[in-house]
Amino acid sequence: MQIELDNFIIHTDKDLDYLSEISKTLNSETKKVLDFFELKELKEKKNVVIYTDIQKYKAHKEEMGEDYQEWMCGDTMDGNINLLELTEAQKTKAHKNMTLKDFLQSVIHEFVHACQQEVNNDFKGLVWFWEALATNLSGQQDNCAEIKNCDFEKLKTDFNTVRGAYGYAYLLGDYMLKTYGQKKVLDYVKNPNKLRQDEDKIFNSAKNSQKREVNNF
């Protein structure tokens, strides 16, 4: 079945009882994300593909040239917003406690990626930055990590193997947005080579800032 919205076409092979929540979330959050990237509109409507069978999602990941890991539940690798359906995600150890709120945040997380792709799709060595924006703009708050424990070189080169990578990304994004503001961060989106020049300085500043917050507590 398909549900067509102003900016999206939702595809699913089952009549999910929370489809209206997905539609409502996309409609309410679209402008905020577009405004952040200073996009008036999407180049074309985004397909939101909900995989209701985990085996089909695994096959999709393999078709995209990526080995499936059980923490994976969404991507934009083919230009669509691809999501593993909530109850299927809950069957995995990584997402057994996923709530509807978590799922809806994942929808927006992937939409952030889709918008960033439209501005500049150069993500080589910058996965941490892409995840920093996606976690912050989708409201996936994670303050559990301590940046001092982060191996930033590994985070840059092999993000998916770093334990707590998304927590580190969230904190770095939170620091950048609060310290530099939307305009500067968007400039890094548009000009990723500038970010490559500044990223070590940003990391050290964020680490020192977190250290000061702990000492002042």
Provide the residue ranges of all domains of the chain, joining segments of one domain with +.
1-119, 122-217
Which of 96-110, 112-126, 201-215 is predicted least confidently? 201-215
Q: What is the pLDDT of residues 50-61, one digit of tens each?
A: 999 999 999 999
Mean residue pLDDT of the chain comes to 94
pLDDT at 217 over 50: no
Instruction: Give the C-alpha distances (Å, rounded to integers) separating 132 from 128, 196, 205.
Output: 6, 15, 16
* CATH code of domain 1-119: 3.40.30
In this prediction, residue 85 carries a pLDDT of 97
User: CA 71 to CA 187: how far, in whole Å?
Assistant: 31
User: CA 20 to CA 34: how far, in whole Å?
Assistant: 21
Average of pLDDT values for 158-171?
Answer: 95
Structure tokens at 13: 């092979």
User: CA 19 to CA 5: how far, in whole Å?
Assistant: 12
pLDDT at 216 over 60: no
Average of pLDDT values for 211-217?
Answer: 56
Question: pTM for the full model?
Answer: 0.93
Helix (H) or strand (E) holding 148: none
User: CA 24 to CA 154: how far, in whole Å?
Assistant: 38
Average of pLDDT values for 112-129?
Answer: 96
Three-state secondary structure call for residue 83: strand
Q: What is the pLDDT of residues 23-49, one digit of tens each?
A: 999 999 999 999 999 999 888 999 999
Enumerate the H helices of 120-164 as residue ranges. Answer: 127-137, 152-157
User: CA 146 to CA 163: how far, in whole Å?
Assistant: 12
Quickly state the pLDDT bin for 212 (edges 50, 70, 90).
low
Structure tokens at 10: 């939702």
In this prediction, residue 91 carries a pLDDT of 96
Q: What is the pLDDT of residues 137-160, one digit of tens each?
A: 999 988 777 899 999 999 999 999
CB burial of 8-21 (b: ≥16 within 10 Å; e: otherwise) equals bebbbeeebeeeee
Q: What is the DSSP letter of 45?
A: P
In this prediction, residue 213 carries a pLDDT of 63
In this prediction, residue 132 carries a pLDDT of 98
